[in-house]
Amino acid sequence: MIAAISTAFLLLTGLYLLVLLYLINGWAALKTPTINLSGFTTRVTVLIAARNEEESIHLTIEDILAQNYPKHLTEIIIVDDHSTDSTANIIRSYADRGVKLLQLNEDKPLNSYKKKAISEAIALSTGELMVATDADCRMGDKWLSTIVGYFEAEQPVMISSPVGYFEERSLFERMQSLEFSYLIGVGAAFIGNGRASTCNGANLAYRKDVFYEVGGFKGIDDLASGDDELLLQKVALRFPGRIGFTKLKNAVVYTHAKHNLAGFLQQRRRWASKSTRYKDKKIVALAVGIWLFNISLLISAALSFFSYDIFMLFLLQFALKITFEAWFLLPVMLFFKRPGMVWLIMLVSPLHVIYLVYIGLISNNSTYLWKGRMVK
């Protein structure tokens, strides 16, 4: 019995290590592109869907208006998604600086208000390249020119760009920052390997005609989330090998970690809820395999109290997990210029096992809370 358990758990461990080697290779395969930051010809529409963001949206708008990308090639559309605070009035106050406000006015309940907001903004837009971000993000003044420079140099149909956490105020938030960087690295590494798995809607660009060619959000609009990853999957299916990642520091946008555990779990539950709808079922199968590996760690930890052999197996599994994760994370954190955070893996990795198993169990429950709404 112990031999059978050990064999099964070692196979799952081997699978996880192979995945990490695949990610390490994919990140390394992403070369830092050489781009021009002048002579642009692409008309760009910056898209934001906002709901109850009165505390920070003015900072995001100011950052976008401060971009060094040519003003005559820049359009800014912000959709107010039924905010109950002063978000719409703040957006409206920037009208004389070229910021366009679009207000949703749906008389029937929707499950995917954000996708509706983005679709309405794209229909109104005049740009060739849609660049989406969130209403609580911050960026440097070369953000837009870096993304468009990459677009004009490489001609991808969709561009995933890096997102990082900043201004962490606690150990919990710093731990989230490391884990979030891991997720960003995973999405980038898949692109580096010529495939597509995940991305983040806080920093995502795509051609307007491509959005319509893949049918926009049709077929995925029954889920509240997925305006980023599920769209990525549709584009990857229609345009294999045509998705890029801007591995450039100036392309990073920054946002904040969740301040408490409840907010963190709601966010990650939302993110996980869309995974079973991925077009590439091999990625879904891979995710299930990784989940089973984490199950095996919990089981071997529990059985360690009864068997010395299982205890040694658990130590081996965990030591290999941390070693290979750190190997993957170090170059990712070097990119974000935060390599000193890698040591937090000693705290994050064991908690990550419990969190992944828990999220896997509850991710397909019908509803969760997002922006003050219960959605599915």
Q: Looking at residue 342, what is its pLDDT? A: 96
263 and 317 inside one domain: no
This prediction's pTM: 0.91
Yes or no: say if 306 and 5 are a contact pair by the CB < 8 Å rule: no
**CATH number for 204:** 3.90.550.10
Distance between terminal CA atoms of the chain? 41
Under a CB-based contact definition with an 8 Å cutoff, are residues 245 and 161 in contact? yes
Considering the domain architecture, whether residues 118 and 200 belong to the same structural domain is answered as yes
Do 44 and 122 reside in the same domain of the chain?
yes
Q: State how far the Cα of 314 lies from the Cα of 186, in Å rounded to an integer.
A: 25
Domain encompassing residue 342: 2-26+281-375
Question: Does residue 163 sit in the same domain as residue 116?
Answer: yes
89 lies in the same domain as 228: yes
Question: In sequence order, which residues have a C-beta less than 8 Å from that of residue 225 and are 6 or more positions away?
Answer: 114, 270, 271, 273, 274, 370
Check residue 373 and give its pLDDT: 55
Structure tokens at 161: 């760009």
Q: Are 29 and 192 in contact (CB under 8 A)?
A: yes
Residues 331 and 263 placed together within one structural domain of the fold: no
List per-residue pLDDT tens for the chain, 376 residues long.
777 888 888 999 999 999 999 999 999 999 888 888 889 999 999 999 999 999 999 999 999 999 999 999 999 999 999 899 999 999 999 999 999 999 988 766 666 788 889 999 999 999 999 999 999 999 999 999 999 999 999 999 999 999 999 999 999 999 999 999 999 999 999 999 999 899 999 999 999 999 999 999 898 877 767 788 899 999 999 999 999 999 999 999 999 999 998 888 888 877 776 666 676 677 878 888 899 999 999 999 998 888 888 899 999 999 999 999 999 999 999 999 999 999 999 999 999 899 888 887 876 665 655 565 555 5
**DSSP string covering 46-89:** EEEEESS-TTTHHHHHHHHHT--S-GGGEEEEEEE-S-SSSHHH
What's the CA gap between 141 and 67, in Å, rounded?
Answer: 4
Residues 192 and 318 in one domain: no
Last residue in a domain, options 246, 277, 308: 277
pLDDT of residue 359: 82
Is the domain of 237 the same as that of 309?
Answer: no
pLDDT attached to residue 104 = 86
Helix H segments across the chain?
2-29, 57-65, 87-92, 113-124, 143-154, 171-192, 208-213, 229-238, 261-273, 281-303, 308-335, 345-362
Nearest Cα to 293, choosing from 360, 362, 199?
A: 360
* Domain end point (choices 258, 277, 296): 277
Task: Determine phi and psi for 125, rounding to 5 degrees.
Answer: -70, 160
Structural domains of the chain, count: 2
Quote the CA–CA distance of 100 and 122 in Å, as a whole number: 12
Residues 105 and 157 in one domain: yes
Choosing from 277, 292, 324, the residue where a domain stops is 277
Q: How far is CA 338 from the centre of its chain?
A: 19
One domain for residues 95 and 243: yes
150 and 56 in a single domain? The answer is yes
pLDDT score for 80: 94
Residues, the chain, total? 376
CB 253 within 8 A of CB 138: yes
Q: Are residues 273 and 295 in the same domain?
A: no
